[in-house]
Structure 1
């Protein structure tokens, strides 16, 4: 492809109305690379935002990413890698030399540099750390010493901290007189002589306050401090609850060691929201860039865990084989009872897991939540029971079967509502992630109880006897 054949790159013609790269644009870039027209490919990619360049690599087939990376190597800076999908980034990082990874990491804030380095093999990680300058290496090594998905991994160390005895003028002169200071911040932290945060000052306050006013007189003393070992999900909840833009991170002694900013929290909220949904279904991380062998292993493991629950349900059905054989319509209807119960349990489970994740459901309102879900289950069960009971009577003309069908559906809805609350709450009390294991227990209960209730009531009523 010649340069004259390349599509227009001015403006935003590369993106559709939803700000996604157009398929024809992606194809044009890959065609240019395939034809050896690296200059043309760079001309297409250069106007893109770093996040869009990251998207381009994610949309590129895995086997073509290395060739594309070599063609536009000068555009692959730290900002692009920071925006890139973890699996895609790991693949590209493996193709780079340690000093190249170190150069990229040195361009980034500490939190983004840690995100690039933390998933590397131990030997490669040490090689990259050796290639960094001492200050960057010390900061990253300290971050890596904290637990994964903690505030220590999430925080950045590039911040502005000033002593509490300074005036507004002192702070302004300090900010203007030191070129090495970070340029991306919304507030400065005020610390005491032990480097413990005592307040914050927004930039707008500093700009609008006379120079001779003491910072201690204008700073906000009430602040949300984040312990360095706090889980990132809890950090996100604090940002959401208190509408924070940034927050100080403190170590065990209360000293200021970093800050977390809202742009990092947006990613965390997105990750955690999707993670719980995927865990409920056993679909793993649900990332389309995840290697197939990892996806198969995760999903197969979950399916094997669910196999005993299916066998248990089959065992319950086996208890009533003779009755089912004499009255075959029971086999037609029992699947409806268990299936509707499973659907109701899944609805309750999704609500409760979300409530636990967002701290809406705590020990103080668990009983109220149970009563609420039982009322909902009873209402739904009554409506569904009346509907299916009437339908069964009209279809089969058997009043006993209609009553049993309606009662079984009602009871299984109650069971679904109860276990949909109790299972995740109980797991949470034992510090087990309710998103991981709840669905197995709920499915087991609704399937087994659905079959047992329907077939048991049918036996009591004398159906098929």
Structure 2
């Protein structure tokens, strides 16, 4: 090859490379995919230009490929998956949104799903397979290696959102008779150990965990020292049936990096690591907020029908509870006809009470979720929120009372609405704590239905207190 030919080749390569997107060409300063990049991918998909699609997507990180699936239209997602088939590895599937992954899995043959599942950690593989119907699930499991199939079937036997579903079966456990030197040699010579681990579990003859050794201790301890002399005996053990939210609280409370998971007999069956818990904390925090609002999963990738079903039932429930407020108003129709100001001011009383109730309810639900509110301190928390409600009620009642007295030139009307607002905010403070606590005591998720009951109580009390005080005070004859 001549110098000129080589230079031409280099120029051609440079020009070709310039046509391909570098990561900086596809991501903006906030590290999200640029709109024009997504549009170029969609245009190539529309033209069935798979080569261009592949060239555009290939430089992306697996997490950015997963984001791309969320940014394009639903009908384009299977087409994109087909165009970048060999890029659709376990790293991408582990990052996919649940609804997007479910759609893609349904479009893949059982052999392809099995290949991907075998590359994933057990918990990620379970998350991919658990939403399949029984027939498809069994078809995928039949294509897997016996060892991987057994691990996933075991995980699927545990309840959803339990430690058994969450745990990884890739961990390092050694017998207690070993020395540090024995352990180091074992770690170096074994080729089938977990790829990533931070501590080694020490087990007895029954495979019960008796202690842990952090890798830092192992590396800094003389070889002749027995593991039982250097291991930490106090450890936090996670039962397989423990709810994942409680698991996250354990990690947060005890500052854990990893923890052993034990079955009903106390045998070590898996481990949970902090990266799994971070995901849980994020998931549970968002879940409680969405449940309080009745918004279902709150996922923009959720099918429209599922979003409709999850949201409309709470709107219907609100409609039914609103009938109570309407009934109270209608019973005071005579008073409202004599003083139109009552009709104008009634919604303000109910609205202020509703907002106060929502504030207290959010605090109570969060406190229940994080174990800050327990049976041991319920009375103290209730008294605390009652005092906050009285202070808030006194402040708002004074402001609205003075404003009403000035605007309507009626000190009595100002006093009535002030008293009604104070009553409703105090009621809201009590309801905001008592409703979630009562639901929790009944074994129900307090985030699910609290808002419906609190809203019903504050609306009804707001209308009743204001209109009732107006009649009782002689404001209307």
**Same topology, TM > 0.5:** yes
Conserved 8 A contact 1:50-1:79: yes
Instruction: Please report how far the alpha carbon of residue 434 of structure 1 lies from its aligned counterpart in structure 2 after TM superposition.
Output: 0.4
**Aligned pair 1:71/2:91, yes or no?**
no
Deviation for aligned residue 1:263:
0.9
Match of 1:52 in 2: 64
Question: For residues 301 and 60 of structure 2, what CA distance do their matches in structure 1 show?
Answer: 22
Matching of residues 214-225 of structure 1 within 5 Å:
214-225=226-237
Q: Which of 428, 442, 450 is the aligned partner of 1:430? A: 442
Post-superposition Cα deviations, 1:178-218, rounded to whole Å, max 9, x if no partner, equal 21211111111111111011111111111222222211111
Could you tell me whether the CA contact under 8 Å between 1:7 and 1:28 is conserved in 2? no
**Does the alignment pair 1:272 with 2:284?**
yes
In the aligned structure 2, how far is the partner of 1:271 from the partner of 1:256? 27
CA shift, 1:5, in A, is 9.6
Q: Does 1:100 align with 2:112?
A: yes
C-alpha distance in 2 between matches for 1:207 and 1:22: 46
Q: Is the 8 A contact 1:250 1:257 kept in 2?
A: yes
Equivalent residue number for residue 353 of structure 2: 341
Deviation at 1:249, TM superposition (A): 0.2
2:11 aligned partner: none
Contact 2:45–2:76 (CA<8 Å) still a contact in 1? no
Distance 1:34 1:291 in 2: 23
Measure how far apart 1:464 and its partner are: 2.1
CA-to-aligned-CA distance 1:116-156 (integer Å, 9 cap, x gap): 11110110000001111111111111100000000000001
> Residues of 2 paired with 1:392 and 1:27: CA distance?
56
Closer, same or farther: CA 5–183 of 1 in aligned 2, 3 Å: closer
Residues 1:323 and 2:335 aligned together: yes
1:176 correspondence with 2:188: yes
Q: Which residue of the partner structure matches residue 245 of structure 1? A: 257
Q: Which of 134, 143, 167 is the equivalent residue of 2:179?
A: 167
| CA distance, structure 2, for counterparts of residue 75 and residue 5 of structure 1 | 19
Mark the CA change 1:11 to 1:55 in structure 2 (over 3 Å): closer, same or farther. closer
Greater Cα shift, 416-425 or 168-177: 168-177
User: Quick check: 1:423–1:442 contact (8 Å CA) kept in 2?
Assistant: yes
2-side partners of 1:426 and 1:52: how far apart? 44
Distance 2:194 2:55 in 1: 31
Residues 58, 207 of structure 1: CA spacing in aligned structure 2 closer, same or farther, 3 A cutoff?
A: same
Match of 2:103 among 82, 91, 95: 91
Given candidates 294, 297, 314, the residue that maps to 1:302 is 314
Q: Which stretches in structure 1 are left out of the alignment for 5+ residues?
A: none
TM-aligned CA deviation for residue 26 of structure 1: 1.6
Tell me, what secondary structure is at the counterpart of 2:202? strand
What CA distance in whole angstroms lies between the structure 1 residues aligned with 2:78 and 2:25? 26
Q: Secondary structure in 1 aligned to 2:101?
A: helix
The two structures, once aligned, show a CA RMSD in angstroms of 1.3
Q: Structure 2, unaligned stretches of length 5 or more?
A: 1-14
> Residues of 2 paired with 1:306 and 1:454: CA distance?
21
Q: Which residue of 2 aligns with 1:445?
A: 457
Aligned residue for 2:272, secondary structure, equals strand
How far apart, in 1, do the equivalents of 2:403 and 2:18 lie?
Answer: 64
Aligned partner of 2:38 among 23, 26, 43: 26
Q: What's 1:411 paired with?
A: 423
Q: Deviations over 1:198-246 (max 9, x none)?
A: 1111111112222222111111111110000000000011011111111
Tell me the equivalent position of 1:130.
142
Q: Which residue of 2 aligns with 1:140?
A: 152
Correspondent of 1:114 among 117, 126, 140: 126
Is residue 47 of structure 2 the alignment partner of residue 35 of structure 1?
yes
Q: 2:207 aligns with which of 177, 192, 195?
A: 195
State whether residues 361 and 432 of structure 2, in contact with CA within 8 Å, keep that contact through their aligned partners in structure 1: yes
Residue 153 of structure 1 pairs with residue 165 of structure 2: yes
Q: Which residue of 2 is the match for residue 394 of structure 1?
A: 406
Indicate the SS of the match to 2:26. coil
TM-superposed CA distance for 1:42, in Å, is 2.1
Q: Is the 8 A contact 2:401 2:418 kept in 1?
A: yes
Q: Give the drift of 1:4.
A: 5.1
Superposed CA deviations along residues 239-266 of structure 1, whole A, max 9, x for unmatched, are: 1111111110000110000001111111
Q: Secondary structure at the match of 1:258?
A: strand
Q: For the residues of structure 2 that align with 1:31 and 1:318, how far apart are their CA atoms?
A: 59
Aligned-partner Cα distance in 1 for 2:376–2:25:
54
